[in-house]
Amino acid sequence: MERHYMAALGGAEKIGAATINKLVKFFGSAKAAWLADEKELISSGIIQEKAANTITEFKKEHPDAPQKNFEYCRKHGIKLCAMTDEDYPTLLKEIDTAPPFFYYRGKLEPNAQRIGIVGSRVNTPYGEGVALELARNLAAVGFTIVSGAAKGIDTFAHRGALESGRTVAVLGSGINHKQSREKEKLLEAIAENGAVISEYPPLFNPTKNTWAFPLRNRIIAGLSRGVVVVEAGKKSGALITTGYAGKYGRTVFAIPGQIYSEKSVGCNELIRDGGTLIKGFEDILSEFNVVYTPKDKTASEKTIPDDLSENAVAVLKIIPYDKYISDEEILMKMDELDPSDLTDIMLDLDLNDLIEENSGRYIRKR
């Protein structure tokens, strides 16, 4: 029930994630915060009299809100995840406005490697093709694709990911808010192959609360190691997501577009201002120095030549298959190896097609 006391606190108007987090921490639990009277709320020093009165009045009108929320979620197959739960996404915990709880359908993978893909609601055929291909390839090699389930680029990112792996939709509406038939089908597929999540009450209507969409973009950025903008106009909401991504220390990627296209102005300006230009999913893998083996392929180790020196064999065993490693890391693991010999060893391994080099870092080939 602890999660449902949090949800009940969030039902009070203009009581946001940061305030709930502070109240729960101060009172020791969400239940204790819910049961606190107005005087105790003010004495906490977290909220002013007006906000304390808002919570008090909400409790008077909805005294059984926690229990009703629990019963509603159970009836409709909705789960609640709190920050204290083991399956709460690890990366999301890092941001300063992480939601204390959220509603979801599907399966959470707290330590998944996630990439956000966002863009214009009114896309071009170029943007559609890029979003589909990028999401499909990233999902195929193990990334979970995160987007907002909006029309346009978001939808194509989800669809591409569903062809080969997992995806997560972060909604700006309640998880049970009525959607179009097409979107309902998409969300059902996402819940079966990832998760659909929302920090808002299940029936929350975004058309009456336009602030909800920009606010949810912080969660897309918070969940992701990096965020890709496929197409975006100068004032696109996708740029709000990249703003959060920059604030949280996530990598911002941008797909370049024609200089005369209004849909590419935002992307091209991101690149001008320091965003990372990418031409395909390989550039993202390279940026993170990570290589994944596609799920539908089984790899076998290359045969080690008999004439390879003993030191070269030892170095080869240190080099991993799934991430790049530097000269310094190799020497730290082989402290008896003379640094002057390492260059010849790496050249020998490369000539035997046993390793791949990228900007002075190495990965073992299969």
Tokens coding 7:
């949800």
Chain centre to alpha carbon of residue 148:
11
Report the helix count and the strand count for the chain, using DSSP H and E: 16, 12
What pLDDT, in 10s, does the model give residues 305-317? Answer: 888 999 999 999 8
What pLDDT, in 10s, does the model give residues 176-206? Answer: 999 999 999 999 999 999 999 999 989 988 8
Domain 2-76 fold is DNA polymerase; domain 1 (1.10.150)
Quick check: do 2-76 and 310-364 share a fold?
A: no
Q: How far apart are CA 110 and CA 91, in angstroms?
A: 8
pLDDT band at 31 (very low <50, low <70, confident <90, very high): very high
The whole-number pLDDT of residue 151 equals 93
Tokens coding 6:
């949090």
Tokens coding 360:
């002075």
The whole-number pLDDT of residue 298 equals 41
Contact between residue 15 and residue 9 where contact means Cβ atoms under 8 Å apart: yes
The whole-number pLDDT of residue 253 equals 96
Sign of CA dihedral 83, 27, 60, 208: negative
Residue 109 pLDDT exceeds 70 = yes
Tokens coding 173:
């509406």
Domain boundaries, the chain: 2-76, 105-287, 310-364
Work out the angle at residue 152's Cα, subtended by the Cα atoms of residues 148 and 154, and round it to the nearest 5 degrees: 25
The whole-number pLDDT of residue 261 equals 87
Q: How far apart are CA 49 and CA 281, in angstroms?
A: 51
Looking at residues 79-85, what average pLDDT do you find?
Answer: 91
Contact between residue 227 and residue 200 where contact means Cβ atoms under 8 Å apart: no
Contact between residue 85 and residue 107 where contact means Cβ atoms under 8 Å apart: no
Q: 137 CB contacts (<8 Å, ≥6 apart)?
A: 164, 280, 281
What pLDDT, in 10s, does the model give residues 320-364? Answer: 876 788 888 899 888 888 888 999 999 999 888 898 887 778 888
CA nearest 364: which of 113, 353, 330?
353
The whole-number pLDDT of residue 320 equals 82
Residue 299 pLDDT exceeds 50 = no
pLDDT band at 286 (very low <50, low <70, confident <90, very high): confident
Q: What's the residue count for the chain?
A: 366
Residue identified by tokens 């230009």 is 277
Q: How far apart are CA 202 and CA 258, in angstroms?
A: 41
The whole-number pLDDT of residue 297 equals 42
Helix/strand/coil for 235: coil
Return the CATH class of domain 105-287.
Answer: alpha beta
Residue 237 pLDDT exceeds 90 = no
Residue 157 pLDDT exceeds 90 = yes
Residue 302 pLDDT exceeds 80 = no
DSSP state of 290: B
What pLDDT, in 10s, does the model give residues 137-154? Answer: 999 999 999 999 999 999
**Burial letters 252-287, b for 16+ CB under 10 A, else e:** bbbbebeeeeebbbbbbebbeeebeebeebeebbee
Q: How far apart are CA 238 and CA 71, in angstroms?
A: 36
CATH of 310-364, one of 1.20.120, 1.10.540, 1.20.1510, 1.10.10: 1.10.10
CA nearest 278: which of 242, 249, 253?
253
User: Which segment of 62-71, 205-214, 286-295, 297-306 scores lowest on mean pLDDT?
Assistant: 297-306
What angle separates helix 265-272 from helix 238-247, to the nearest 10 degrees?
20
Q: How far apart are CA 338 and CA 291, in angstroms?
A: 29
Phi, psi of 334 (to 5 degrees): -125, 70
Q: Which is it for strands 114-118 and 226-229: parallel, antiparallel or unpaired?
A: parallel
Q: 127 CB contacts (<8 Å, ≥6 apart)?
A: 119, 120, 152, 153, 156, 230, 231, 255, 257, 263
